[in-house]
Structure 1
Amino acid sequence: MLLFSCKILTSLNLSLVFCLFVINNAVITISTATEFDFGTLTLASLKLLGDAHMNNGSVRLTRDVTVPYDGAGKALYSKPVRFRLPGTHTPASFSTFFSFSITNLNPSSIGAGLAFVITPDGEQVGSAGGSLGLLDEKGAGLGFVAVEFDTLMDVEFSDINGNHVGLDLNSMVSTQVVNLDTINVDLKSGDLVNSWIEYDGLTRAFNISVSYSNLKPKVPILSFTLDLDQYVNDFMYVGFSGSTQGSTEIHSIEWWSFSSSFESNSGTGSGSAPPPPTASLMNPTANSVKSPPPSLAPSGSSTTQKSSKSSSCHNQLCKQGAGAVAGVVTASAFFAIFAGVLIWFFSKRYKHVKKSESFTSDIIRMPKEFSYRELRSATKCFNANRIIGHGAFGTVYKGILPQNGDIIAVKRCSHNSQGKDEFLSELSIIGTLRHRNLVRLQGWCHEKGEILLVYDLMPNGSLDKALFEARSPLPWPHRSKILLGVASALAYLHQECENQVIHRDVKTSNIMLDEGFNARLGDFGLARQVEHDKSPDATVAAGTMGYLAPEYLLTGRATEKTDVFSYGAVVLEVASGRRPIEKEITGVGKVGVASNLVEWVWSLHREGRLLTAADARLEGQFDEAEMRRVLLVGLACSHPDPLARPTMRGVVQMLVGEAEVPIVPRAKPSMTFSTSHLLLSLQDSVSDCNGMITLSSSSSENDFIHGDHLV
């Protein structure tokens, strides 16, 4: 026991010495922080000025009109942010991340762009045109520091081109500028663009990063030194400003997070920094009607009470620290610290052993293990506003890692035994897979009864949303590239892995799109591994109706050919712009039978009108021979007889033109199953949750063809 205590005391030496050093040198750090993002902001927390307005959860700075016009709008955080402490010349450090898109309804018209702005004026909008709403009608600045994303080359402002980023200081003539063509980013493409802006108040370092990717570039596109103290007041507003110049540009802010803080060392400064103001600028509430003055705390705000309590405790600790310089650490205080360390040591050791014994033995050679604390922080305590999707047995949240600003997708698995089984299955399978068309697993977490998977976030969302929820139709070149990518991923899973992987849930909502609209197949919660040349075991049928092969519904035996059938349904869905199962409206408020996409395309092929299936929204903007080949590939993969379906490696060869598409009969072949071939009865065929229905013994063949989903 004495030896153990000595070891503990030895391990405490550095900590105690450091604490005494801090006290004796009176090093006091004062921090004032502002932090918010789209997950915590409400409409009452924003100032929408001019043409700025909300649209489906995003902020648009200009109008949604098809006729060219001149207009401007601003969107500002409703409360002023402290950018300088009174009596000092040390500006705040801040960092902001935002995702935006610039879409032109009329490609023949361009201009002018948008800007991230820091301004003392929270009420006025500048003029339209090339000034981005930052200058008044006389061309005078309203006072601002802005990072512009300019889509118009304006000779008046010495612009280098119509696709650049610049730093504007009370003037539209940029003091720092860079051509975005050098990193292959086109502001006018309509694609989602990500930007990181960081400023260090102590070193005066100003960094700007831009990328299509959700991972912050290692090297900023612009890096320079700026004394922000010359351009800011004690309090400033932050937000965005944008304008049009005889154009139809739509400037949309899809995500925004911002944080600022002060750091001051009284040991090196000329005096003690004043305490932070008691106003809380974090987590604004929807019922805030009038912003209080910066020096007053909003009444009834729990956040403010916490901030005030934290400030009070901090000041008290500072006084105690100063008194400790002249005093002596008492024995009781020492033993209290000693006891606290012992409790902490044993609790951490116990938790670690318990966690290792109960869970990590199931996981070998997996990616990084994240802590629950950092994932909870990244998702703002799993805020409902951060939900970006629902996968098999789990909800998916958008997260931003605080330590490096990387954007991630966090899948929070269901709190039941089945959910844990699917989690272990997904982790054990995808953790060993490496392919450019698979969603990359970054890591996992299992703490506090939670099971979490961390993936790369795909900035362009799912294929399902790109097909049916986007403002403009997905172009055919994107669609054909996506289909080839998914086929390549499935060929890898079926024939190139150490063990064959059957996905069992191939559908458009599980196909994600990266910044270049490359396909990434994800959600392996239902996947199964099978040794090559081994017959798969019969299981319960799982998946989504419209994508499920008929033999899989009746036998429960998932093979690579059941994935091929699902892929065929995806091909027809992408080519036609129609969902696999669609309700037919027969009258006002009346819904008739559901239409099955595969059946519909087979009928068009029988009538010799196959190209009629092409998505009308494409307006003929595709190569007819390529469209016909893709539709025939879809039908070949959707063949009722699994033995007649091609392999996914063969599909890849067909899509790139290295192999001919097999002859697809005009009339859809039929296939029958004898009762001796059924491995499962209908009442045993069930599947997972998330939009799928249970089959019962009373289900008929029409249920298989015209049902919605299987759950």
Structure 2
Amino acid sequence: MTLSSRKLLVFLTLFTLFHFKNHPFLLVLAINVSFDFPSLTIRNLTLLGDSYLRSGVVGLTRDVTVPSSSAGSIIYNNPVQFYDPESNITASFSTRFSFSVINVNPTSYGDGLTFFLSRDNQTLGSYGEYLGLVNSSQPTKNKFIAVEFDTKLDAYFNDPSDQHIGLDINTLKSIKTANPISSGIDLKSGNLITAWIDYKNDLRVLKVFMSYASSKPKEPVLAVNIDLSQYLREALYVGFSGSTEGSTELHLIENWTFETFGFIPARRKSHRPHNVSDSSVITPVIPISSSGDKPHKRLGLGLGIAGPAFFCAFLVVFGYVSVKKWKKIKTFKSFKAEIVTGPREFSYKELSAATRGFHSSRIVGRGAFGNVYKAMISQGTFAAVKRSKHLHEGQTEFLAELTIIAGLRHKNLIQLLGWCAEKGELLLVYEFMPYGSLDNVLYQDTEQGTLLSWPVRQNIAVGLASALSYLHQECEQQVIHRDIKTSNVMLDVNFNARLGDFGLARLMDHDKSPVSTLTAGTMGYLAPEYLHCGKATEKTDVFSYGVVILELACGRRPFERETQGQKLTNLVDWVWELYGEGNIIDAADKRLNGEFEVEDMRKLLLVGLSCTNPDSMARPTMRRVLQILNGEAEPLFVPQKKPSLTFSFGLPALEDIVSDSD
């Protein structure tokens, strides 16, 4: 602990004692909030997803000239309190903002934007009809109040027309909607539109006004009689979200004012008990005593006892913190000495600047290692930065990933650009993958524009097989990845597969037997023998690859609950059952609408089954898989019935395992 830190600690201690001595009955009440942003700045706002700030204007979706799918949101940094439990008052609120919806291609429209109140400051949903407000896989998870300005008709959410406004509470199925065209407002005109949203808690009514001018109209476009007090019982964040799907539509916010009103000004709380009403206050009679100095003596005695005790406690805490920091510095120095030479060493200052101080708006992924940030390391050049603050917990994974990837070179592996180990943090710098992971793209809930085509899926299968063949057979030391899954397969700008996340990988000589380790990986991708004895081999990687291949072909996750009931369906078992019935093509992803070569689909499904054979000895090598997919070898024989495999002792029930896993 530095000298300045010690001074700060002493100051805070003295300040706390003085504060509570002089203000023991200070009452903190909810206060009215007001802010006015003639132009928007990053100082007061958090940007998430694809949103960006340019010349005081926030764009919620990507500024592109070709159709894309995008979602973004901006959130006021500080939560707003709408309810005061002390006075049992719910605040009213009013907001005004100017926005425009611009489109370089008028035929490529959708989807719109929202003004929302939400419980958390990480509100970012899916693109498309979800308006960047709710997640497509968990549409009821986010709790919010929102006014939507929708520019696309979506029958699933009961939209009345291709442009409308509506009040939404915890779902995008609006409570009430209105068509702004009837008020002379065209959302898609590209003109600057000013909107006012007023909620009067005493009148239990929410109104939305819209105009091309800066003056507020007399009549609202939408009026909803509703009591929002039950939804305003906690502090909420306020902001905007927007989304597109296969569109060039832009959603811009140019200015914003917001205020709450109706709270009673804060006042000093009286000394009377809470349960005494104003009408029954009794003024206490204070007897005059000749021993008026007794309270002072008692105070002096208390301080005489508490003072030394507090000082001793302070010394203990100071000693503990100092020793802990000394050990941390020593460990960190020895750790940096272990790092191999090769990739560039970045400074912490460089990476902090490249990620805008590791701002939450730059987060593009999260994992066991830590958050992943989008970074601009040079003009126009982006990278992905994996960051962990847990030095001791992350050191093993950090060294594993750095040591392994630094020596690997393959077009289907993510390239490591550099690393950093400063300020008690571990950071890895990779090339940036614009489409994110295969998991994100494959399972997007979409009806147009972003579905992975059959040729792209075949290319991903071949690319991943090529990367694993390289790791297993072509490296000087064989690399067992141990965590192959769709979320660790990234897609580059051309949708080529790039295998990443080597935090669980292990190096071994080709002529050595596998090293027995604790079971690690992700449930659904783990081979049965790996679950049984925790021994990772190239055949356990083959099994995981097989599951990914079946996901690609079927568009289904390794485990899915049936529509009716809670029973889990195992993807491997489901495909094998169809294969036994002679209907394996029925396993193909229905979203492809039959747009694939039947024999190629059959080949890929059979490769997936052969790789997931419970008998590890019956699985092909990744080199053989690559040859089969490239038409250089015949597919392996796959039995009509899935082989059974028994162990000397039982494993926990599959549903029990899955229910306890992520």
TM interval, short-chain normalised: 0.5 to 0.7
Report the Cα offset of residue 642 of structure 1: 0.5
Q: Which runs of 5+ in 1 are unaligned?
A: 1-33, 76-99, 106-125, 136-242, 257-280, 291-349, 676-681, 683-698
Equivalent position amino acid for 2:384 in 1: A
Say whether 1:251 aligns with 2:266. no
Partner of 1:700: 652
Cα offsets for 1:162-193 (capped at 9, x unmatched): xxxxxxxxxxxxxxxxxxxxxxxxxxxxxxxx
Are 2:412 and 2:497, in contact at CA under 8 Å, matched by a contact in 1? Answer: yes
Which of 495, 499, 504 is equivalent to 2:473?
495
Contact 2:478/2:508 (8 A) holds in 1: yes
Alignment of 1:246-645 (within 5 A): 250-251=247-248, 357-401=333-377, 403-413=378-388, 415=390, 417-469=392-444, 471=446, 472=448, 473-586=451-564, 592-645=566-619
RMSD (Å) for aligned C-alpha atoms: 4.5
> How many angstroms apart in 1 are the aligned matches of 2:604 and 2:44?
40
In structure 2, the residue matched to 1:13 is none
Whether 2:653 is the aligned partner of 1:671: answer no
| Structure 1 pair 70–641 and aligned structure 2 pair: CA distance change class (3 A) | closer
Alpha-carbon separation, structure 1, partners of 2:71 and 2:512: 49
Q: Does the residue aligned with 2:393 lie in a helix, a strand or coil?
A: helix
Partner AA of 1:619 in structure 2: N
Assess, with a 3 A threshold, how the Cα gap between structure 1 residues 623 and 354 changes in structure 2: closer, same or farther. Answer: same
SS in 1 for 2:561: strand
- Between the aligned partners of 1:533 and 1:379, the Cα distance in structure 2 is 44
Q: 1:254 to 1:483 in 2, by over 3 A?
A: farther
Task: Please point out which of 607, 625, 647 is paired with 2:621.
Answer: 647
Q: Cα deviations across residues 614-666 of structure 1 (Å, max 9, x unaligned)?
A: 00000001000000000000000000000000000100000011111111000
In structure 2, the residue corresponding to 1:469 is in which secondary structure? coil
Aligned in 2, Cα 1:288/1:620: closer, same or farther, shift over 3 Å? same
- Structure 1, residues 437-472: CA drift from partner, whole Å, max 9, x if none? 001111000000000101111011110011112634
Query: Do the aligned partners of 1:58 and 1:252 also contact (CA within 8 Å) in 2?
Result: no
* TM superposition shift of 1:38: 12
* Aligned residue in 1 for 2:158: none
CA contact (8 A) 1:543 1:710 kept: no
For the residue of structure 2 that corresponds to 1:359, the secondary structure is: helix
Query: Match of 1:444, SS?
Result: strand
**Relative to structure 1, is the Cα distance of residues 702 and 423 closer, same or farther in structure 2, using a 3 angstrom cutoff?**
same
Contact kept? 2:391, 2:426, Cα under 8 Å: no
Which stretches in structure 2 are left out of the alignment for 5+ residues? 1-39, 64-68, 75-98, 115-126, 129-151, 153-184, 193-243, 261-325
Instruction: Assess, with a 3 A threshold, how the Cα gap between structure 1 residues 517 and 39 changes in structure 2: closer, same or farther.
Output: farther
Letter in 1 for 2:658: G
Are the structure 2 counterparts of residues 404 and 660 from structure 1 closer, same or farther at C-alpha, using a change threshold of 3 Å? same
- Secondary structure (helix, strand or coil) at the match of 1:393 reads coil
How far the C-alpha of 1:397 sits from its partner, in A, is 1.3
Q: Which amino acid aligns with 2:633?
A: A
Task: Please give the alpha-carbon distance, in whole angstroms, between the structure 2 residues aligned to 1:497 and 1:252.
Answer: 47
Deviations 1:225-271 (A, max 9, x none): xxxxxxxxxxxxxxxxxx9xxxx972156999xxxxxxxxxxxxxxx
Asked if the contact 1:546/1:709 (under 8 Å) is kept, the reply is: no
Q: Distance in 1 between matches of 2:360 and 2:454?
A: 34
1:182-222 CA-to-partner distances (Å, cap 9, x unmatched) read xxxxxxxxxxxxxxxxxxxxxxxxxxxxxxxxxxxxxxxxx
Q: CA deviation at 1:545?
A: 1.0
Evaluate the alpha carbon distance shift between residue 383 and residue 67 of structure 1 in structure 2; reply closer, same or farther with a 3 A threshold.
closer
- Deviation for aligned residue 1:287: 6.7
C-alpha contact (below 8 Å) 1:441/1:454 kept by paired residues: yes
Is contact 2:59–2:252 with CA below 8 Å preserved after alignment?
Answer: no
SS in 2 for 1:707: helix
Distance of 1:36 and 1:608 partners within structure 2: 59
CA contact (8 A) 2:389 2:424 kept: no
For residues 579-624 of structure 1, give each alpha carbon's deviation from its aligned partner in whole angstroms, at most 9, with x where no partner exists: 00112243xxxx5022111111111111111000000000001000
Instruction: Return closer, same or farther for 1:37/1:507 CA change in 2, 3 Å cut-off.
Output: farther
TM-score by length of 2: 0.54
Q: Is the 8 A contact 1:511 1:521 kept in 2?
A: yes
1:562 CA drift (Å): 0.1
Q: Distance in 1 between matches of 2:510 and 2:252?
A: 45
Question: Any conservation in 2 of the 1:61–1:250 contact (CA below 8 Å)?
Answer: no
The SS at the match of 2:248 is strand
CA distance 1:600–1:70, change in 2 (3 Å):
closer
TM-score (structure 1 length as normaliser) = 0.50
**Aligned-partner SS, 1:451:** strand
**Structure 2 CA distance for aligned equivalents of residues 366 and 515 of structure 1:** 26
Paired with 2:633 and 2:108, the residues of 1 have a C-alpha distance of 51
What is the deviation of 1:39?
8.1
Matched residues in 1 for 2:617 and 2:110: separation?
A: 61
Shift of 1:360: 2.8
- Amino acid paired to 2:604: V
Q: Name the % identity.
A: 50
CA distance in 1, matches of 2:44, 2:538: 42
Change (3 A) 1:469 1:62: farther
Counterpart Cα distance in 1 of 2:110 and 2:539? 55
C-alpha contact (below 8 Å) 2:109/2:248 kept by paired residues: no
- 1:622–1:643 Cα change, 3 Å: same
> What SS class does the counterpart of residue 542 from structure 1 fall into?
coil
User: Secondary structure, in 3 states, of the residue corresponding to 1:592?
Assistant: coil
Query: Cα 1:55–1:464, aligned 2, differ >3 Å: closer, same or farther?
Result: closer
Aligned in 2, Cα 1:69/1:661: closer, same or farther, shift over 3 Å? closer
Query: 8 Å contact 1:61–1:74 — kept in the other structure?
Result: no
Deviation by residue 1:486-533 (Cα, 9 ceiling, x = unmatched): 000000000111110000000000000000000000000111111112
What displacement does 1:405 show?
3.6
Q: Following TM superposition, by how much is the alpha carbon of 1:673 offset from its aligned partner in structure 2, in angstroms?
A: 2.2
Aligned equivalent of 2:72: 57
Kindly tell me the number of residue pairs found equivalent between the two proteins.
Answer: 404
Which residue does 2:141 correspond to in 1? none
Paired residues of 1:394 and 1:412 also in contact (CA < 8 A): yes
Say if 1:392 and 1:526, in contact at 8 Å, map to a contact too.
no
Q: Is the 8 A contact 1:62 1:71 kept in 2?
A: no
The question of whether the paired residues in 2 share the 8 Å contact of 1:494 and 1:500 is answered with: yes
Contact 1:501 1:528 in 2 (8 A): yes
SS, match of residue 388 in structure 1: strand
Separation in 2 of the partners of 1:606 and 1:544?
28
Partners of 1:40 and 1:444 in 2: CA distance: 27
